[in-house]
Amino acid sequence: MRLFVGTLLVTMLVVAMLIDDSEGYNRGRRRRRNKRSMEDVADEELVEIMQEARSLLEELKDLDDLDDMAAERAPMESRGAGYEDNVVYRRNTEDKTMAGSADEKRRTLLQRAKVAEQAEMYEDMVKCMKELVEMGGKLSTEERNLLSVAYKNVVGSRRSAWRVVTSLDQKKADEGVDESDSARQAVKWMREKVVTDLKKLCGDVLTLIDKFVLPTVENQENEVFYNKMKGDYYRYLAEISEGSEREDMVTKAKESYEKAYAKATTSLTPTNPIRLGLALNWSVFHYEIRKDPKEACRVAKEAFDAAISDIDQLKEDSYKDSTLIMQLIRDNLTLWTSEQDQGKN
């Protein structure tokens, strides 16, 4: 910018000199006609140009000031460049507005989590909800749902990233690309990062549930909800693990789902959306993780039939959730039974 203005300034000065010069040349010829007025015009032009040059010089000085300001700001910006997990975390705890009673802090975290959800800033939403849960105490239904939505989103985006890198790796392997190939190494690098993230996030939410949430749960619906949630996150860990680690995750997922299922069938109506959501995911667990489509169909069909026979129990406030999940169960059932029929033929 400064180079440009500088060049412009030099050009204008040169032009000014040329005008002065040409006036000198013209002067001799024009003097005879109207000496006085021609000189005036030339002088006026010169004055104008000099004024413009001066104001450009001032602007140049302003630009210098701006540069100085930018230089002062630079170290601050580079400090912020290392934006990591705990930057937001620290900001949450050190914030002046957070001072005050535990109740106030809880309310602030809840409000922030809700705004973060609207802004789709799910990493921040997770941090707020994690901090809120770690304060201890029972969670309201709203807090429960926000915790679930926050982790579902951060984990969901990484599960889909995992599927992308896994299929990229498979493609390269199918093409016969060697493991030492740099493109394959890049895929491996990304995959390891995604797996590390997933293990950390799933581990975090499982710890929150075991350490803070389940010990304070009284309501049976919530007991189902959180045990199902444990089943889901152990299932996600099973998806990305291998060998004995996978076996361990599969067992833990199964135990959590079974606990939730036992509780759900004795304490919730068949059309309860939490019971239905559990049946849906418990059946997907059988299908995808245990590779047992028969059992998957049995669980799905049992849940669907029970809900149909109890359809007049649909609650006004949750019938939309219930019917949506029933549809998802039926879609999977249709898909799975047709696959099984094809397998037989």
Ligand X SMILES: *[C@@H]1O[C@H](CO)[C@@H](O)[C@H](O)[C@H]1NC(C)=O
Minimum Å distance from CB 329 to ligand X?
8
State residue 163 phi and psi, 5-degree precision. -65, -40
Which spans of this chain sit near ligand X (rule: CB under 6 A)?
Answer: 152, 232, 277, 280-281, 284, 287-288, 325, 328, 332
Of residues 197 and 288, the one with the C-beta less far from ligand X = 288
Q: For the beta carbon of residue 42, count every other beta carbon within 10 angstroms.
A: 18
Of residues 131 and 232, the one with the C-beta less far from ligand X = 232
Burial class (CB in 10 A: 0-12, 13-18, 19+), 280: buried
Is residue 130 within 8 A of residue 208, CB to CB? The reply is: yes
Minimum Å distance from CB 154 to ligand X?
13
Please give the Cα distance from 261 to 186 (Å, whole number): 42
Minimum Å distance from CB 253 to ligand X?
11
Please give the Cα distance from 100 to 109 (Å, whole number): 13
Minimum Å distance from CB 203 to ligand X?
18
Helix-strand-coil split of the chain, %, nearest 5: 85, 0, 15
Minimum Å distance from CB 335 to ligand X?
6
Of residues 30 and 152, the one with the C-beta less far from ligand X = 152
Minimum Å distance from CB 186 to ligand X?
28
Of residues 30 and 159, the one with the C-beta less far from ligand X = 159
Of residues 108 and 283, the one with the C-beta less far from ligand X = 283
Of residues 42 and 261, the one with the C-beta less far from ligand X = 261
Exposure pattern of 131-168 as b/e (b: 16+ CB <10 Å)?
bbbeeeeebeeebbebbbebbbbbbeebbebbeebbeb
CB-nearest residue to ligand X: 277
